[in-house]
Structure 1
Amino acid sequence: MSGFVPDFAGAQVRVSPNFGPRNDGLTPECVILHYTGMESGDAAEAWLCAPESEVSSHYLVHEDGRVVQMVREQDRAWHAGRGSWLGRSDVNSFSIGIEIVNPGPLADFPPYCDVQIERVADLVRDICARWRIRADKILAHSDVAPGRKIDPGEHFPWARLAEMGLGHLVEPSPIRGGRFLAMGESGQPVEALQSMLSLYGYGLEINGLYDQATKDTVEAFQRHFRPVRVDGVADQSTIETLHRLLTSLHDRFPGSN
């Protein structure tokens, strides 16, 4: 493909060869946000368009707000890798991926640029309107791949997007003392926690064991919804925030999930 008309008005087009058809006739139902985790936006853009990388994304948003589209929204970009949401794998076939230029751990997780986040919001709003994607389906890469990915990181301004009507968020419950669940524990309370995480969408076996997969999933949840402390420990604040999130989900979207 030598070029295409961008789906998002104002986007520059740089075609990546790393794409294919969406499987089983699927259409976009989620937006997945990533950080590039590379030294520069130009390097990330080049890598996402290099055949040997075998990775791509529908969009890249530079620090100055420039938007580059590399794969048409109707096609399947290779951005999410192994993961799942609401019991479904092949996340690439039902999602649109947005890479946001930020070096992440290479530079100790610097803040995102204001103009960049404004442009991300414009882009996400446009995508969700075009494909009728619900606010709760705007997700982090770490949500669909706990333990394997941490982007866009705990410093991503989810609350700012929520103020613009993008994403599903509740005010986190404050951190305080009390009972908590952690690695090595087992029993009905752990099973209840796993069930709530699974009900929201996280891919997690409900086995009543607070194993590594459970810790990774709790960390992913905290990174997105309770970022003030990301430690994989299901303290009272984490559990209350999860419960309130589920209540809000079903109040806002009856019959969801």
Structure 2
Amino acid sequence: MKIATFNVNGINGRLPRLLEWLAEAKPDAVCLQELKAPGDRFPEAAIRDAGYGAIWQGQARWNGVAILARGADPVETRRGLPGDPEDAQARYIEAAVGGVLIGGLYLPNGNPRPGPKFDYKLAWTERLLAHAAGLIEAGVPAVLAGDFNIIPTDQDVYKPERWRDDALFAPEAKAAFQRLLDQGWTDAIRALHPDAIIYTFWDYWRNAFGRDAGLRIDHLLLSPSVAGRLAKAGVDRAVRGRDKASDHAPAWLTLRKA
């Protein structure tokens, strides 16, 4: 089973690139972020014509998450994280696909730091940690996949000294990511490529992609009950270099059969 995450940075504007990648990579399940479209503008027909069922939570201009399943309809289990009924931002969606519970997330950016946006990032992350702990306790085969907007270590960023004041690299954000790992979640890419320089995001400015001045902020985390099935993991870097591409590249993993 191949599971991927892809921050599309506007699903309608980047739809040709998304459909192109789906046809090439053929993932069985995909978490999408930054749809930047209200729910009624999600391109369901085009996605279905490509062979995928979908659930989504849209939001005008910002945010937005979706889960796609190849040849099936994802069975939605949750929309939004528990813990704050007033939170209207479209950042978390969860579904069962192929016997695996998949949580698709778009964690807040948090800049500028300090400030209310950083406070929201930390509060949202605490809610994610609580929900993730519940999934571990339930023992379900689960994957948390998405744009975490967290650079876990110096290894995951080009010239880390330039990011010390950024919310993505803040000590509190890195500590929260480590707390997820301490719960028992496995960082799929690092588990198989512990020493490699791997990025998933390159800014549009200053030829960042050409210089490979990137960040690794898109992650796939495996619960203990499924981590032993991890076979492969990587990033489809070439997708970032295409015309009118997202500033993220898809990250993915494959699981052996149970």
TM, length-normalised to structure 2: 0.32
Pick the structure with more helix per residue.
1
Pick the structure with more strand per residue.
2
Larger CA Rg, structure 1 vs 2: 1
